[in-house]
Amino acid sequence: MSKPVSKNSQIPDKEPPRPLFIRGGGGAGPAYSFGPFRLDTSERVLRKGEEPVPLTPKAFDILLLLLRDHGRLVSKGRLMDAVWPDTFVEEKTLTQNIFTLRKVLGPDATGRQYIETVPKHGYRFRAEVEAVSRDDYRDVEERPPAAPPAADQQTPAGQVARLLEHRAARPVHRRAGGRRVVLAAAVAAALVAALAVGSSYLRAGRLADGAFRKISVARLTDGAQVSALALSADGKYIAYAATRGDAQSLLVRQVETHAAVEVVPPAPVGYRGITFSRDGAWVYYVTVEKNSLVGTLYRVPLLGGTPQKVLDESVGSRVEFSPDGKQVAFVHWTDRTHTALLVANLDGAGRRLLATLDYEGGFSVDGPAWSPDGKTILVPTQSYNGKRSYADVVAVNVEDGSRRTLLGGRWNWIGQLTWLADGSGVVLTAWDGNSEVMSDQVWLISYPAAETRRVTSDVNGYLGVGVSADARLIAASESAPARNFWVAPGGDWTQAQRITNGAGELYSERLGLSWMPDGRVVYSTRRGGGPGVWVMAADGTQQRQLTFGADAQPAVSPDGGQIVFVSSRAGRNQLWRADADGTRPALLAGTEGVRSPGFSPDGQWIVFEGEAGGVPHLWRVPAGGGAPVQLTQDAALLPAVSPDGKLIACLVPNEAPGPARLTLLSAADGSVVRQFESLVPRNTPALRWSPDGRFVTYVVTREGVSNIWGQPIDGGAPRALTDWKADLIYRFDWFKDGRLLCERGTTVSDVLLIRDAG
């Protein structure tokens, strides 16, 4: 995790200017007008024309502060103090909210962003802002809606208070010595007390309604490299898999002490999931051997002992127990094209198939969650529509196997699920693609309404989650990046030097980088609220932002005059072009699902991966603009043009999931020139030609360590071009003089404790 920063700014803000009301009328709060937008402070809504624009409450507050001080620097400290009072947050949370605002607002009439970054200091709203009364842009004859009751009046006690207030305004007939007034007051008091008791009862019976609205966070482990975890129902023990080199071990640790016991020694396996038995006496776990897709279920006593194999058949996910503890549910691959949700007794008998899904869009290996009443099993699913990944939560009926989608639509990824003990909701890890937080967070979903609420709001990722029966404690596996750029002169990995010194960011393998002809580097990062395209010198200095849209995977023309990049500023990945300084951005190709663009050596055209009918193909488009031309009829991935411009290297995927075949195509017509026997992992970040054109290079990761490999284009076996003994490679490129640029590092995963502080 990056070091938390104090919200107390060291830079004093100047006295902020206060916009004057230039029109009169109305006693409601002001509205701020800029460009086609109006921000209404009374209704807390941003409108573009007449249409409301969705904003999170925090993003709204940040925008309001910037509008009030338009034209002036607003320091990061002041923004964080105002928006997150009495809360210790990281600076990256602010930058993610700024990114959200830039994405929503888009560029102004001149093509520039409304919100300007002042490096190392803060932000400035650069456009003209006009403060107006709400009545100046609403119909003066339109009667505003009645104000909603205040927060304290929405409770049952508040409703009674409003009733008493209403009665107090009415004339009272004081007959019989005022007994009617006394009686009314007594009845009202009794009603308040009854409703208060009822409200407390409801809150106690619905854990999802009040749990984790206010939290405190503490780290339990330090550098454990956690791959899976589970929390016992009583909240006293955590079991987690820790990684050392190419081996993983299983540990059990008491939450309130520093005592940890290694209950399963290190072995060259991966842990797919961990589950406590219902009585808490056993820890069940699924391990996966090398080069295998499915695992085996074992169990071990809570405080150690001899592991016992539970199921001989293959298990594809973590397991979940039925409420009586006699059965387990898990995901299994029926074949290479389907996934299945199975239920079985602990001895393997009574196996029953509840539901099946195609592999694409199938059940996730993060596994099921069995409801406390035993009637429903929730399972996350994962799919890809050619533009981005999608995730849903499917509710499967245990009795008849019928299913319905409980949660879906906006989610990029959904991980481990854990029910609250009363069945009122589920705690899970997930990534909402529309969120200002661009990483996997901990969420709480009510059941059966499926109303979502985010528990965490930071820029690190969460991969596993467990919750105690009293809903007072969550244990989660938090992932924080530790990555930097390295340059190896002449490709000599032994002489590589680190040129940056930062924490890095998650999912940087999706962001891309490229050498410029003058030896500078263009790359994408989310640091400026992005992702956006940045440039830096070859020694890592002089870093400067070039584009401010949702831009990634930049490539530079041979003359250094232009850059192309993948941008989702229009809501989907498309090919855009700009001048090398980031000015004059323009849409170049509206093809769906654009990825991995690159220039031809003469700079006349650009090749890229794009979707057609939901299938990835290779395309090319003139650099000066024109209609894209589809080069391949079969699926192809990750194009790279050879230094002489005659060939295109790419990956041709097999029908079944897994590695793809490295292939050379004719740059003229897309026909196959040569296909190699070697298979390349699909998750390699890119293909790159060596500067001399003799090799097609790519990233291979083995036992947790990445290296660059090269396939000779004249045939022969591929070979390792680097021999690093640690770290992963997330992106790389070769310069024409043989220099190798890599982003290398790791992701540190530890157990985090999230306590209900309400």
> Can you tell me whether residue 752 is helix, strand or coil?
strand
In this prediction, residue 211 carries a pLDDT of 94
Residues 597 and 632 in one domain: yes
pLDDT at 354 > cutoff 90: yes
Among 2-6, 425-429, 597-601, which is the least confidently predicted range? Answer: 2-6
pLDDT tens digits for range 430-471: 988 666 566 789 999 999 999 999 999 877 889 899 999 999
Residues 183 and 330 in one domain: no
In this prediction, residue 21 carries a pLDDT of 30
Q: State the amino acid at position 386 in one-letter form.
A: G
pLDDT at 184 > cutoff 60: no
Rounded Cα–Cα distance for residues 103 and 570 (Å): 9
In this prediction, residue 709 carries a pLDDT of 97
In this prediction, residue 164 carries a pLDDT of 27
pLDDT at 154 > cutoff 50: no
Residue 284, in any domain of the structure: yes
Cβ contacts of 578-586, under 8 Å, gap ≥ 24:
578/533, 578/546, 578/547, 580/516, 580/546, 580/556, 581/546, 582/533, 582/545, 582/546, 582/547, 583/111, 584/111, 585/111, 585/547, 585/549
CA angle 641, 645, 647 (to 5 degrees): 60
Residue 659, in any domain of the structure: yes
Residues 640 and 562 in one domain: yes
In this prediction, residue 299 carries a pLDDT of 95
pLDDT at 153 > cutoff 60: no
Residues 125 and 187 in one domain: no
Residue range 498-512: average pLDDT?
Answer: 85
pLDDT band at 556 (very low <50, low <70, confident <90, very high): very high
pLDDT at 157 > cutoff 70: no
pLDDT at 549 > cutoff 90: no
Higher local confidence (pLDDT), 248 or 96 = 248
pLDDT at 498 > cutoff 80: yes
- How high is the mean pLDDT of the chain? 82
Most confident residue range from 18-22, 45-49, 75-79: 45-49
Residues 538 and 454 in one domain: no
pLDDT band at 87 (very low <50, low <70, confident <90, very high): low
**Tokens read off for 12:** 């004093």
Among 87-91, 235-239, 513-517, which is the least confidently predicted range? Answer: 87-91
Residue 572, in any domain of the structure: yes
Among 3-17, 241-255, 312-326, which is the least confidently predicted range? Answer: 3-17
Strands 452-454 and 247-254: unpaired
Residue range 508-515: average pLDDT?
Answer: 92
Residue 5, in any domain of the structure: no
In this prediction, residue 545 carries a pLDDT of 92
In this prediction, residue 529 carries a pLDDT of 61
Among 21-35, 155-169, 282-296, 711-725, which is the least confidently predicted range? Answer: 155-169
In this prediction, residue 521 carries a pLDDT of 97
pLDDT tens digits for range 638-654: 999 999 999 999 999 87
Nearest CA to 374 out of 392, 359, 396 is that of 396
DSSP-derived secondary structure for 471-534: SSEEEEEEEEEEEEEEEEGGG-GGG-EE---S---TTGGGT-EEE-TTS-EEEEESTTSSSEEE
Residues 598 and 738 in one domain: yes
Residues 499 and 458 in one domain: no
> Quick check: 164 and 63 in contact, CB under 8 A?
no
CATH at residue 78:
1.10.10.10
Count of domains for the chain: 4
Percent of the chain topping pLDDT 70: 82
In this prediction, residue 375 carries a pLDDT of 96
Residues 82 and 191 in one domain: no
3-state DSSP of 218-274: EECCCCCCEEEEEECCCCCEEEEEEEECCEEEEEEEECCCCCEEEEEEEECCEEEEE
What residue numbers bound the domain in which 698 lies?
481-749
In this prediction, residue 149 carries a pLDDT of 35
Percent of the chain topping pLDDT 90: 53
Residues 83 and 213 in one domain: no
In this prediction, residue 428 carries a pLDDT of 95
Higher local confidence (pLDDT), 504 or 317 = 317
In angstroms, how far is the first alpha carbon of the chain from the final one?
Answer: 25
Residue 15, in any domain of the structure: no
pLDDT band at 232 (very low <50, low <70, confident <90, very high): very high
Residue 92, in any domain of the structure: yes
- From 444, 471, 498, the end of a domain falls on 471
In this prediction, residue 142 carries a pLDDT of 36
Residues 466 and 489 in one domain: no
Among 51-55, 368-372, 509-513, which is the least confidently predicted range? Answer: 51-55
Rounded Cα–Cα distance for residues 237 and 255 (Å): 6
Residues 236 and 201 in one domain: no
Residues 513 and 573 in one domain: yes
Residue 200, in any domain of the structure: yes
pLDDT at 152 > cutoff 80: no
In this prediction, residue 298 carries a pLDDT of 95
CATH at residue 574:
2.120.10.30
DSSP label at residue 19: P
Residue 24, in any domain of the structure: no
In this prediction, residue 388 carries a pLDDT of 60
Rounded Cα–Cα distance for residues 738 and 228 (Å): 41
Residue range 156-167: average pLDDT?
Answer: 32
pLDDT at 171 > cutoff 50: no
pTM, entire model:
0.62
**Tokens read off for 226:** 């956690």
**Tokens read off for 71:** 């034209």
Nearest CA to 380 out of 327, 318, 471 is that of 318
